[in-house]
Amino acid sequence: MNTPSDTPTPELSAGEQELAQASTSLVDTDTWVDPELAALCREAAADGAVLLRNDGTLPFAPRARVALFSRVQVDYFTVGYGSGGDVNAPYSWNLLDALRDAAVVDVDAELADLYTQWSKDNQPDEGTWGNWPRYFEEMPIERETVRAAASRTDAAVVVIGRAAGEARENTLEPGSYYLTDDERALLDSVTAEFERTVVVLDCGNVIDLAWLEEYGDKISSVLYAWQGGMEGARSVADVLTGVQVPGGRLTDTIARRYEDYPSAPNFGGLEHNDYAEDIYVGYRYFETFAPEKVLFPFGFGLGYTTFDVATTVETSETDVTVSATVTNTGSEHPGAEVVQVYVQAPDGRLGKPARVLASFAKSRQLAPGEDDTVDLSFPVASLASYDDSGVTGHRSAYVLEAGTYTVYVGTDVRTATEAGSFTLDELRVVEQLAEACAPEAEHAFQRMTLDRDAAGQAVVAWQDVPTRQSSRRERIEARQVPAVEQTGDQGITLADVAAGTATLDAFVAQLTDDELEALTRGDRVMGSELGAAGNAGVFAGISESLRAKGVPPVTTTDGPSGIRLSAYASLLPSGAALAATWNTPLVRRLAAAHGQEMVRKNTHVLLSPGMNIHRDPLCGRNFEYFSEDPLVTGLVAAAVIGGVQEAGVAACPKHFAANNQETNRNLNDSRVSERALREIYLRGFQIAITESAPRTIMTSYNKINGVWSHYNDELCTQILRDEWGFTGTVVTDWWMQHDTDPDFPAVTDDAYRVRAQVDVFMPGGWFDHITGEFDQVAQASLLTSLAQPDGISLGEVQRTARNVLQLALGLGTLRDTVTALSAGRGEA
C-alpha cells in the first residue's frame, strides 16, 4: 500500500505551472477520506471490471494458492496522467498488498518478495508533463523460477499495465497499444508452466488483445480492470476472490486489429482530421459492415453466473416500452445483468447503422434463482437521424424515415435478439433546425455511407460531405442583444439580488466597463490567491470592486478522477471504469459523495466529467472519457453532474466538442459533417444537459470545421443555448488561441469569445509562454472592441456578466459568502 510519504508530488517550475495544469505541491496534511466515498470507489471499480473470458478459474476458491507475475502487481497504475488523474491521493493500493490484505487466497510469498525487491531496486520513472511512461519495464524472470512457482501454487495471475495521459496519444508500439517482448516472454513462460493463468488488464484505454487468440485456452480468464483509483486494486482483489462479482460491460468495441477501426486512416493528423467514417463510429461501423473484425463486441461482459432475460415490447406513436425480467439461472454466485435495447432503423435515403443503442438499465444484484423486472422506455423521436444534405426533402432537420424499426434486446450488441418492431408509413419531421458548424467548401471531404450489394448485404460507399450554405454574418447581424443603461454604483449588492429586493439587471447596470471585463475572465493564473491553494483558477469576484458589491470568487479544480489541489483528495475510478458499470444510480451516489468532498475542500466548480467520444483507441485521454457511444456517454455524464451538484456546487462537463485526440490539440481542426457532429459528438452533451442541467460547461481546444470552439457562436449560442436551452456559464479550456472574427474585424480575442457566449476565459491571462509575460494588447481586446462602433456591443458583454452572476447566485455553497461580502462591502 502506498502511503502519502511514499508518493511525493513533484515540484514544478513556474513555466511548467503556466504551460500545463500540472500537479501541485502539498500544503495541507489532512489525509481524512470519507469512508462512504472510499467504499463507493471500491464498489464502482469492481462493478466496472469487465470479465472477458473465464473457464471457471475465477473466482479463486478460499485458500487457493496464487502466484502473481509482473512488476505491475507492485507498481500498479491507479489512473492515467494529466489533469484527469494527477490527484494528491492520501493513499493507493497495489494488487499485491490488496490480495494479501483480503486474506482470502494465499499469495506465493517467495515470488512476491522477488518482485517487491526488484521494484524497490528499479524504481519507475514517472516522467514529466506529456512525457509520462506508457508502461514500466518488466522484471526479467527465468523459466526455472516460473516452474518453481507453478509447483507451489494452483494458478497464476499476470498483470498487464498501461498508462495514458493528457497531451500525448498512445502509439502503435510495444509498451503502448501492443505487448512488449518481455510481456510476451512472461506470458509464454507462465502459460507453459501453469495449467491455469489469469490475465488482469490494468489499463485505462483499450489496447490490442489479438494475442488472446494466439494463446487460446492457455489463458483461463481475462479481467479488464481499467484503472480504479485509490481503491482500484482492492476492487480487483475482491473480484478475483469472489467477494464482489465483475459487473462491467464494454463501452467500446475491441477489434482484432487497430487497422480495423474506421477512424484509423484519419487519426492523429497534425493540422486536421477528416471524420470520414461519419456516423459509423465503433459498433455502428462494425455491426453494419464488418462484424467479423470484432474480437469483443460493444456491451459484452461476463459474470460468475448465468442469466435468462425474458422481454416484452410495446410501441405507440410516441414511445417504445420494454419490460425485461432478468433471472439468475446459476446455482452458486450472485450477479447483476445489463439489459441493452438496440434499434435498427430503415435505411431510407440517409442510410442507418445496423444497430443503435436506444436504452439500457442494470438489474439489482440477484442471488441464484432470484429475478428482477427492469422497465425501459424511450421516445420514438430519439431514433431520428439528422439530414444535413436535404436528401429527404428536409435539410437541417431530424427526421424519422418511413419503414420498419426493429427493436432488439439482449446483453450486448451482437447477441441482442429481435423483440418487437413498429412501422412508420411516412416520413416524420421530428425537429426542424438551422445549419450550424457545417464544413467549409474548401475543406470538403468524402464521408462513409451505406449501400447494399445485389444480395442485400451492407457495403461501404462514399459521398461528398455537405458543406456550408448559410451566412454566419447575417445571423449575427440579425441577433439583437439589448443593453441596460449603465447607472453607476447605486449601492445594490448581489445579496440584494439573492434576497429578491433588487433585480439582476439593476445590479448589472451599476457595473463599469472594467468590472464587466473582469467578469469575463479568471484571475489570470492558476493557483490564484483568491481560492484554495493549488486551484486551477478563480473567476467572478476577482476584483476588489466586484467583491465590494458581493460578487464571490468562484474556485475551479480538476477533475474527472478527483479534486486536484495542494491538498489530499480522493482518487476516484477513471471515467472508463465508471462507464463500464452501466450503473448510473451507483455513479450518481459516488458523485454525490465527491460533491461533499468538494465542499470540504472549499472548491466550487469541478472540471468534470470528461465526455468526449472514444473515436479512436489511441486517444491519450480515453481513460477520462466514457464510451464510443453517445447515449452511454450522456447518461453516465448526467449521473456524475447530477450527483456532484446535489452538494450545491457545479460540475463542468468537457471538452465541448469533438476533442478526440491529443496530438496538436490546440491547433487541430476536427472536420466533421453536421450529421456526425449532431448524432455522435454532440449528442452526449445534449443528453447530459437535458437530464442534469450542469451549471457550467467547458469548451475544447480544437477547431470544429475551421472555427475554434471557444470562438464558435454556432456551437455555443445557436446549438447549446438556443436549441438545447442551456442557461449556465461557458468557460474555456485553460488558455486559448488568438483570432479575429472573420466577419467583424473589430472583434478579436476576448471580444470574439464573448460574442459567442463563451463567458469566461480561464485561467484568465493572455500569457506569452516565450517571453514569460502577459500580453497586454490581447488582455485589452474586449474593452478595445467595446469602444469601437463596429465592435462588440455593451449588451453582449452584459449578457455574459449575467451568465456569470447567475452561476454565483445559484451555488448553494456560496450563499454565505455573497451575504458576508455584501455586508462587509468586499471583506468576507
What tens digit of pLDDT does each residue of 88-114 get?
A: 999 999 999 999 999 999 999 999 999
Cα Rg of the chain, angstroms: 27
- What sign does the CA torsion over 413, 414, 419, 421 have? positive
For residue 19, what pLDDT is reported?
A: 32
CA–CA distance, 633 with 281 (Å, rounded to integer): 14
pLDDT for 11: 34
The 3 state secondary structure assigned to 513-578 is HHHHHHCCEECECCCCCCCCCCCCEEEECCCHHHHHCCCCEEEEEECCCCCCECECCCCCCCHHHH
Cell numbers of 548, please? 465590494
pLDDT in tens, 779-791: 899 999 999 999 9
Tell me: pLDDT of 20 over 70: no
What end-to-end distance do the CA atoms of the chain give, in Å? 42
Give the CA distances from residue 39 to residues 202, 505, 568, 572, in Å, rounded to whole numbers and listed in that order: 20, 46, 17, 11
For 36, phi and psi rounded to 5 degrees? -65, -40
Angle, alpha carbons 158-159-160 (nearest 5°): 120
Q: How confident is the model at residue 827 (pLDDT cuts 50, 70, 90)?
A: low
User: 3-class DSSP state for residue 147?
Assistant: helix
CA angle 337-215-114, nearest 5°? Answer: 95
Write the pLDDT tens digit of every residue in 690-703.
999 999 999 999 99
Interval 160-204: pLDDT, tens: 999 999 999 999 999 999 999 999 999 999 999 999 999 999 999
CA distance 334 to 329: 10
pLDDT at 9: 31
Residues facing 462 on adjacent strands: 448
Question: Rounded mean pLDDT of 675-701?
Answer: 98
Arithmetic mean of pLDDT over the chain: 94
pLDDT for the residue 828: 60
Which residues are the active-site residues? Answer: 733
Give the tens place of pLDDT for each residue, 728-749. 999 999 999 999 999 999 999 9
Give the domains, in start order, of the chain with CATH numbers: 49-246 (3.40.50.1700), 296-433 (2.60.40.10), 522-538+550-791 (3.20.20.300)
Do 604 and 554 touch, CB atoms closer than 8 A? yes
Helices of type H across 555-652: 575-579, 584-601, 630-645
What are the start-end ranges of the E strands in 329-380?
A: 338-344, 356-362, 371-379
Q: pLDDT-based confidence at 127, cuts 50/70/90?
A: confident
What global pTM score does this model have?
Answer: 0.96
* Residue 225 contacts residue 94 (beta carbons within 8 Å): no
CA pair distance 684, 656, nearest whole angstrom? 10
List the one residue out of 350, 358, 444 whose CA is nearest residue 675: 350
Peptide bond into 609 cis (omega under 30): yes
Distance of CA 322 to the CA centre of its chain: 28
Give the confidence band of 670 by pLDDT, cuts at 50, 70, 90: very high
Torsions phi, psi for 678 (to 5 deg): -75, -40
SS3 462: strand
- Find the mean pLDDT for residues 714-737: 97
The count of C-alpha atoms lying within 13 angstroms of the C-alpha of 365, restricted to the half-sphere facing its C-beta, is: 12
Q: Taking each helix axis from N to C terminus, what angle separates 584-601 and 630-645, rounded to the nearest 10 degrees? A: 40
| 266 close to 181: Cβ distance less than 8 angstroms | no
The grid cell for 687 is: 443528453
**Residue 553 forms beta bridges with which residues?**
540
Calpha distance 436→621 (Å, rounded): 27
Label residues 442-476 b or e (16+ Cβ within 10 Å = b). Answer: eeebebbebeeeeeeebeeeeeebbbbeeebeebb
If you ran DSSP here, which 8-state letter would residue 656 be given? B
Parallel, antiparallel or unpaired: strands 65-69 and 155-162? parallel
Would you state the pLDDT for residue 804? 98
How high is the pLDDT of residue 650?
98
Residue 677 DSSP class: I
Which segment of 127-141, 201-215, 293-307 scores lowest on mean pLDDT? 127-141
Residue 430 has pLDDT above 80, yes or no: yes
21 has a pLDDT exceeding 50: no
| Secondary structure string (H, E, C) spanning 690-747 | HHHCCCEEEECCCEECCEEHHHCHHHHHHHHHHHCCCCCEEECCCCCCCCECCCCCCC
Q: Which residue has the cell 485509490?
A: 230
Q: Has residue 376 got a pLDDT over 60?
A: yes
Contact (CB, 8 A) for 335 and 328: yes
Closest CA to 575 of 639, 650, 658: 639
pLDDT class of 124 with cuts at 50, 70, 90: confident
Q: What is the pLDDT of residue 12?
A: 32
* pLDDT tens digits, one per residue of 61-83: 999 999 999 999 999 999 999 98
Cis peptide leading into residue 604 (ω within 30°): no
Instruction: Point out the least confidently predicted range of 15-19, 645-649, 758-762.
Output: 15-19
State percent of the chain over pLDDT 70. Answer: 96
User: Which three cell numbers, joined as nine digits, stand for 421?
Assistant: 418492431
- Output the nine-digit C-alpha cell for 671: 472536420
- Write out pLDDT tens, residues 512-557: 999 999 999 999 999 999 999 999 999 999 999 999 999 999 999 9
When pLDDT is cut at 50, 70 and 90, the band that residue 2 belongs to is: very low
Q: Is 716 helix (H, G, I), strand (E, B) or coil?
A: helix
Q: What is the per-residue pLDDT for 771?
A: 80
User: What is the spatial distance between Cα 541 and Cα 695, in angstroms, rounded to a whole number?
Assistant: 17
Does position 768 have pLDDT exceeding 90, yes or no? Answer: no
